[in-house]
Every structure is written in structure tokens, then in C-alpha cells.
Amino acid sequence: MRSLGRDDLRTLWRTTFRSSPPPGFTKDLIARFICWHIQEQAFGGVDPTIATCLDGFAHGDKPGADAPRRLKPGTVLVREYRGERHTVTVVPVGFAWRETTYPSLSTIARAITGTSWNGPRFFGLRASVSRRQPGDRAGIATGAALARSSRRLAGSVSTRRNKEQP
């Protein structure tokens, strides 16, 4: 593929895709698209779940602000509430906080605050509609695998949006 010239790559594109390559495509980009197509034919296409996610990004959807997260055992959630730091660890059967296992984050949030809270929202896993008290900070210290997959997903998609004409 690297040894082919631009004209040869354009010819290969026409035979592969039965259309002309976009005029703005560089030699490198044409080669990458053809290679992708060859891989797709040999090993199968993109998983339907990922294709739906990528399609959403292409149409301007925001990357999972309110999408449910799957927390793997070992993930650590940290929340500071009224000057006290609370650390919750995800375990296979629920969530461990203060040496006790709880079935849900909402149970822990209720124990911390004394009022009914949405647990994922309290620990910063969902966007919050209400305003937080000054001094309250929510954060997540996730396991390495979860952080890596988030960075990979965020870094793998790059869309160019055309400005709308008035």
C-alpha cells in the first residue's frame, strides 16, 4: 500500500468502493480507508454497540454525560461531604464503605447525609441538577482499566462539524 502512488490509490479506491475518493483526501487517508475496508472484510465490521455510539458522536451527541457507567470491582469512589472524606470501593456484591458492604450507592449516600439521595448522583457519576453546598466536592478515583477505556474512547473519535450557513 505504501509503495502505491496517489493515482494508483485512487484507482484502487474506485474499484473497491465503486466511486471516486473525496477530492480533499490525501494519499495517506485514501490508503488508510482502503486498508480499513480490507480489514473489515477479513475480520468483520465494527460491533453494533460501538457503531451506534460513534454514530451518536457524529451527530453531535455529548459523550455519555448521563449514560450509565459500569463500575468494575476495585473502582474507588471518593466524596467529600461537610469536610469529611468518604471512600467507597466497588466490590463484586455491592459497595464497601466503612468496612460494611451495602447493596447500593443510594443506601450509602443516605447514611452519609441523613436524607434521601440518588447514590450515583451523590458520588458524581451522573450530572447534578441541583446546586451543591460550598465545600462539597465529588470525585471519582477509578481503576486503571476504567480510566484507560474512557481516554481511549474520547481520543478515538474526532468529528469535524460544518458551520451552518445563515
In tens, the pLDDT along 123-158 reads 888 765 544 444 444 444 434 444 444 444 444 333
Tell me how far apart the alpha carbons of residues 110 and 104 are, in angstroms, rounded to a whole number.
10
* Residue ranges of domains in the chain: 6-63, 76-154
Q: Is the pTM of this model over 0.75?
A: no
pLDDT at 3 over 50: yes
CA atoms within 13 A on the CB side of 62: 5
Helices 27-43 and 6-17: crossing angle, nearest 10°?
A: 40
The better pLDDT of the pair 19, 1 is held by 19
Cβ atoms of 97 and 108 within 8 Å: the answer is yes
Cβ atoms of 106 and 100 within 8 Å: the answer is no
